[in-house]
Amino acid sequence: MTDYKKLIGTREKPLELKTPPGTSAYTMHVEEKDGESILVCTVGKTVLHYDLRCLADLAAMLKEHGDWMLLGSKDEKQEAEEGTVEYWARSKDNPIGGWYGLKKNFRGRFAMYIPPLMEHLGLVELEHNARVNRMRIEARKADKR
C-alpha cells in the first residue's frame, strides 16, 4: 500500500500545490479522521476534506476512459457537467456511490484540487490553461496498470 503521508505530507509539513491555471496556491496533507485516512486541502482559511480512495479510483476511471477528460470544477451547490471529472466525483455511479468530498457545503471543487495532487504524484497529465483544463492518465502509468 502506498504511504501517502510520506508522498503528500502531514499537517505539520503539507504539500504545497497550485490550481491547474496556476493562479491560486493551496496545501494538501493526509490525516486520520474517524479511523480513516483522508486528504485535507487548505485554501486560504477554507479547509476541504476528500476521501483518500479518490486517488486510485480516479486513476482507474481515467485509464478506462482512455483519453483527455475535462475537469469541470464546480462548487457543491452548482450542477456539474456530465462527462467531467467533477461530475464523476459526485456521481452515484463512481466506486463509492457519491461524493468524494466529505464536508457538507464544501464537497465540490474536487476537479480544482485533486488533479494537481495526482500530477505531483506522477499519476496523470494535466493541462494548465487559464480556463477549461483537462487531465488524462499519465501514459507510462496506463501501460503498467
Instruction: Give me the amino acid identity at 95.
Output: P
Instruction: Give me the amino acid identity at 92.
Output: K
Q: Is 59 left (phi over 0), alpha (psi -120 to 50) or beta?
A: alpha
Write the pLDDT tens digit of every residue in 97-107.
Answer: 999 999 988 99
Total number of domains constituting the chain: 1
Q: Please state, in angstroms and rounded to a whole number, the distance separating the CA atoms of residues 97 and 141.
A: 25
Answer whether 0.85 is exceeded by the pTM: yes
Q: Which domain holds residue 25?
A: 4-144
Residue with cell 490553461: 129
Q: Please state, in angstroms and rounded to a whole number, the distance separating the CA atoms of residues 118 and 138.
A: 10
Write the pLDDT tens digit of every residue in 6-35.
Answer: 899 999 999 999 999 999 999 999 999 999
